[in-house]
Amino acid sequence: MAMSPFFTLLRRDITLALREGGAIGTALGFYLIVIAMLPLGLGPDLNLLSRIAPGLLWIALLLSALLSLGRMFETDHEDGSLELLAIGGTPLELVAAAKALAHWLTTGIPLALLAPLLGILLNLDLSAYGVLVLTMLVGTPAISFLGAIGAALTLRARRGGLLLALLILPLYVPTLIYGIQAISGALLAGQSFWPSFLILAALSLGSLVLGPLAAAAALRIQLQ
């Protein structure tokens, strides 16, 4: 059965992420640990935790997703398969898009689905669970696709992992702000959910275009 190179690559990357173990587990474990540490640092006041829970869950999710971003092109670069992909018939933009999509499917979605469970630890309001998962599912593609730019840029850099965080976190500011705004818009009276939510979706769609283009440009420069 012939599959397009895009889906072949996507399936390969998902299979690798699942079988390699560690990758998904580490991100989820990191998410759990960070959220569990926060009440220890902030104090066990449940009212306070409940109020700031959406923000904490979003920020911890960003950090957890960053952990596995650095691996997006690294292993393929080390064993030379990235160069084969570059000289193959598939445009490098599609290769980058497939890898970013695989990252979202294996990191963004699991983290977003774990978030409500961790919300229990922070006394998150029950009515917020649905909105929280919805905004995270819609917002996390931006994390993977903008992250692909950072992963491509730092491929041959020294201390790539830390550098990646420095480069990419400022780019996540709009996603973070509108993700939180959509949640508070849905919970608080007198504020609206849809405008922020739609901007959040637009940011993800925009990053779907920008991410692969910029990542492929960065990869091409390094593979010459």
Partner 1 sequence: MTNQSITQKLANPTRFMSLSGAILPWLAGLAVAVIVFGLYRGWTAPPDYQQGETIRIMYIHVPAAWLAMLGYALVAISSFGLLVFRHPLADVSAKAAAPIGAAFTLLALVTGSLWGKPMWGTYWVWDARLTSVLMLFFLYLGLMALRSSIEEETLAAKLTAVLALVGVIILPFIKISVEGLSVPWLGLEIPAWNTLHQPSSVFRSDGPKIHASQLYPLLYCALGFTLLFFALHMKGMRNEILRRRVKALRIAEVDRARAAEAAAPAE
> Which of 109, 136, 110 has the alpha carbon at shortest distance from 53?
136
- Tell me if 72 sits within 8 A of 103, measured CB to CB: yes
> Which of 197, 101, 89, 183 has the alpha carbon at shortest distance from 142?
101
Q: Is position 170 an interface residue for partner 1 (rule: CB under 8 A)? A: yes
Q: Is position 198 an interface residue for partner 1 (rule: CB under 8 A)? A: no
Q: Is position 154 an interface residue for partner 1 (rule: CB under 8 A)? A: yes
Q: Is position 158 an interface residue for partner 1 (rule: CB under 8 A)? A: yes
> Which of 219, 83, 221, 81 has the alpha carbon at shortest distance from 149?
219
Applying CB under 8 A, the span of 4-12, 20-28, 62-70, 168-176 interacting with partner 1 comes to 168-176
Instruction: Give the C-alpha separation, 196 to 161, whole Å.
Output: 31
Select from 178, 182, 186, 193 the one that contacts partner 1 (CB under 8 A). 178
What is the smallest separation between the CB atom of 96 and partner 1, expressed in angstroms? Answer: 13
Instruction: Give the C-alpha separation, 53 to 59, whole Å.
Output: 10
Instruction: Give the C-alpha separation, 140 to 188, whole Å.
Output: 23
Q: Is position 210 an interface residue for partner 1 (rule: CB under 8 A)? A: yes
Select from 203, 204, 208, 212 the one that contacts partner 1 (CB under 8 A). 203
What is the smallest separation between the CB atom of 210 and partner 1, expressed in angstroms? Answer: 6
**How many C-beta atoms surround the C-beta of residue 55 within 10 A?**
14
Phi and psi (nearest 5°) for 189?
Answer: -70, 150
Q: Is position 149 an interface residue for partner 1 (rule: CB under 8 A)? A: yes
Give the interface size with partner 1 as a residue count (CB under 8 A): 31
| Binding residues for partner 1 (CB under 8 A) | 146, 149, 153-154, 156-160, 163, 166-167, 169-171, 173-174, 177-178, 181, 184, 195, 199, 203, 206, 210, 214, 217-218, 221-222
